[in-house]
Amino acid sequence: MSLIASDENNFDYDEVLEQLNKYLRLRATPIGMKMFKTKEEMEAIPRIRRPKDVHTTDQIVGQACRNGWTVGITMDDLVGAQCGTVIGLHPRNEEWLSGDRMTGVWYGTPEDAKAHQDAMDVLEYGQYEAMAVSPLGSGRLNPPDICLIYATPAQMILFINGLQWLGYKKLDFSCVGESSCADSWGRALKTGEPSLSIPCFAERRYGGVMDDELLIALPPSYLPKIVAGLAALSNNGLRYPIAPYGVSNDVRAGMGVSYAD
């Protein structure tokens, strides 16, 4: 059965997830994120949870990824403007752009803090009132705007190799440092392109991201292509886990398995 349907987002998510786990052995649950124009639209999602406490967006994402929950939020559920602005729930106003609260904490001068805020990729304010996250396998977001996949560096490079198997394109990623959610879900929501990030201190402290995890955010339409690429790579013996060959062995025997000449 083909994973790709006439509608680029209308494919068998369970089959895609099964294949991703087969080829990459992911330990974190792949999730989806979706923006909603109204709070009521978000609250209509089946079995949606609404926070009882104030959280960071990192925590909300972690609740979906680590706990398997479907969670919806508005700006009122978030701890402050830094989280809300990335997903377009708070305006990118002068106070936010100043970076005052980061001066002396993450950046040595007001100028550095402002430069950081200016560099962040964020969703335009005024389009949406709410956001929800949910495990991809639940099918509740139908479809999500983007998928979030946590993986080790070895898993992630094979994931990207799968993406590049057909229709090759060099991928460029950014690193704003702290608030790196702007590099992942902020950038992917804004551009519709795959966006890799090194999760920041806040994502690891509050979102449960592990020491050895990277994050990629991308529209779900990319997933069938990636699975097909991973299958082709696997057929060529390029698989996860990547078995160490040995730093002192004659490399020709190993290379000869993949390259005829």
Burial class of residue 197 (count of CB atoms within 10 Å of its CB; 0-12, 13-18, 19+)? buried
Under 8 Å between Cβ of 84 and 73? no
Instruction: Take residue 60 and report the two structure tokens written for it.
Output: 């909300």
How many residues does this entry show for the chain?
Answer: 261
Q: Which two tokens stand for residue 59?
A: 């925590």
Q: Over the stretch 102-121, which tens digit does the pLDDT of each residue have?
A: 999 999 999 999 999 999 99
Q: What ranges do the domains of the chain cover? A: 13-241
* pTM for the whole structure: 0.94
- DSSP, collapsed to helix, strand or coil, labels residue 227 as helix
pLDDT at res. 7? 52
1 residue type, one letter: M
Q: How far apart are CA 191 and CA 200, in angstroms?
A: 21
The separation between CA 151 and the C-alpha centre of its own chain, rounded to angstroms, equals 10
Instruction: Dig out the tokens for 222 from the structure.
Output: 């990319």
Residue 1's pLDDT is: 29
Residue 148 confidence (pLDDT): 98
Predicted confidence at residue 2, as pLDDT, reads 36
pLDDT tens, 61-102? 999 999 999 999 999 999 999 999 999 999 999 999 999 999
- Distance (Å, whole) CA 110 – CA 116: 10
Q: Are 171 and 160 in contact (CB under 8 A)?
A: yes
How many C-beta atoms lie closer than 10 Å to residue 37's C-beta?
11
For the chain, residues with pLDDT lower than 70 are: 1-7, 261
Helix%, strand%, coil% for the chain, nearest 5: 40, 15, 45
